[in-house]
């Protein structure tokens, strides 16, 4: 009987840790990557208390006593920027071709934008014109570069 009770206690403890978000998350836990109509590259990364320069993040969660020993603080799922991933920021040297507003992905307590990162190249319709590029055409589109309205997309050249 004590063995069964001990096994049940371990199972309950593991379930509580998973529900609380304290269990180890697999690298494929990047949010939103599977919802695009474009090809996707899964980003592998790591959870950290801050985002190093040159990196971006694909998810954020608010945790107790992880990044702040006396209370709650954000943890970030940090990834190296790459083409065709959904990310919470647009790093230098990248542009984006779509944006969406999502709940509890980039902001653990509410809505925030996520950006579909793209490496700038001629022939790409993008939401911004990065340094070193120009554009030859512009279109005004609904819910592409602005998740709740119209915004311009630019056909990159250069």
CB 76 within 8 A of CB 89: no
The pLDDT of residue 21 is 39
The pLDDT of residue 44 is 86
The model carries a pTM of 0.72
End-to-end CA distance of the chain: 74
Element (H, E) at 72: strand 72-79
The pLDDT of residue 111 is 97
Residue 116 exposed, middle or buried by CB count within 10 Å (0-12, 13-18, 19+): buried
Long-range contacts of 101-109 (CB under 8 A, 24+ apart): 101/147, 101/148, 102/31, 102/32, 105/31, 105/32, 105/58, 105/59, 105/60, 106/57, 106/59, 106/60, 107/60, 108/60, 108/61, 108/62, 108/74, 109/62
The pLDDT of residue 43 is 61
The pLDDT of residue 75 is 97
Cα-based distances in Å from 37 to 53, 73, 94, 95: 29, 33, 20, 18
Q: Residue ranges of the chain with pLDDT lower than 50? A: 1-42
Q: Return all residues near 79 (Cβ < 8 A) that are at least 6 apart.
A: 30, 43, 44, 45, 55, 56, 57, 58, 85, 87
Domain extent listing, the chain: 26-157
Compute the residue count for the chain.
Answer: 158
């Amino acid at each position: 009987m004590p063995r069964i009770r001990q096994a049940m206690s371990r199972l309950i403890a593991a379930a509580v840790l998973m529900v609380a978000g304290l269990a180890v998350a697999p690298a494929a836990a990047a949010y939103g990557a599977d919802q695009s109509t474009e090809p996707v590259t899964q980003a592998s990364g790591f959870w950290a208390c801050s985002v190093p320069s040159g990196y971006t993040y694909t998810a954020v969660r608010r945790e107790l006593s992880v990044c702040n020993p006396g209370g709650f603080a954000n943890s970030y799922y940090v990834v190296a920027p790459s083409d065709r991933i959904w990310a919470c920021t647009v790093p230098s040297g990248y542009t984006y071709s779509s944006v969406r507003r999502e709940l509890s992905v980039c902001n653990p307590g509410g809505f925030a934008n996520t950006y579909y990162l793209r490496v700038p190249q001629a022939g790409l319709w993008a939401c911004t014109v990065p340094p070193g590029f120009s554009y030859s055409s512009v279109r005004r589109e609904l819910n592409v570069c602005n998740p709740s309205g119209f915004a311009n997309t630019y056909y990159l050249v250069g």
